[in-house]
Amino acid sequence: MKSKVTLKEKVGTKIIYAVLLVCYYWMWARQDWREYYMAIQYAIYGFTILFFVMQAVRIGKYNKEEKDEMAIQNLRRTDSISLKIMIAATIIIAFACAVSFIDGRMTGYALVGMIFVLTVIRFIIFYVMDSKGV
């Protein structure tokens, strides 16, 4: 891990945070129980701790490096686009909940799913913008 930490890597690791959020919501909101769920939960807990330790090291290294100004500008543009997508998706989910198409638990799944999808879209948009040098 002696390579330089890039902004693409930092944006890409947000996908793992979103996957962990979906996993934790599943653990909190499920209504059934199987024997193997405990093993899945322990694996998620262990991965979370390991991932946070690795991220602390990488982020500390990133903060000591020189910043790429073009990539930072591209990230700001990407965040602007992502915000507009998030607002539209949240309005759709809120409307579906208000007219009783979905219940509270499914609304939660829709919200964490939206966060996951938005994180992937954000990474793709940033990757394309940064690769093309827009």
∠ Cα 96 108 34 (to 5°): 130
Which burial class, exposed, middle or buried, applies to 11 when counting CB atoms under 10 A from its CB (0-12, 13-18, 19+)?
Answer: buried
Is residue 110 pLDDT above 80, yes or no?
A: yes
Mean pLDDT, all residues of the chain: 88
Between CA 134 and CA 132 the distance in angstroms is 6
Predicted TM-score of the model (pTM): 0.83
Is the model more confident about 102 or about 119?
Answer: 119
pLDDT score, position 2: 63
pLDDT over 90 percentage in the chain: 49
Extents of the domains making up the chain = 7-132
Measured in whole angstroms, the distance separating CA 48 from the mean position of its chain's CA atoms is 14
Residue 98's pLDDT is 86
Q: What local confidence, expressed as pLDDT, does residue 66 receive? A: 79
Q: Is the pLDDT of residue 8 over 80?
A: yes
pLDDT digits (tens, 9 = 90+) for 48-106: 999 999 998 888 887 777 777 888 898 999 999 999 999 999 999 999 888 877 788 88
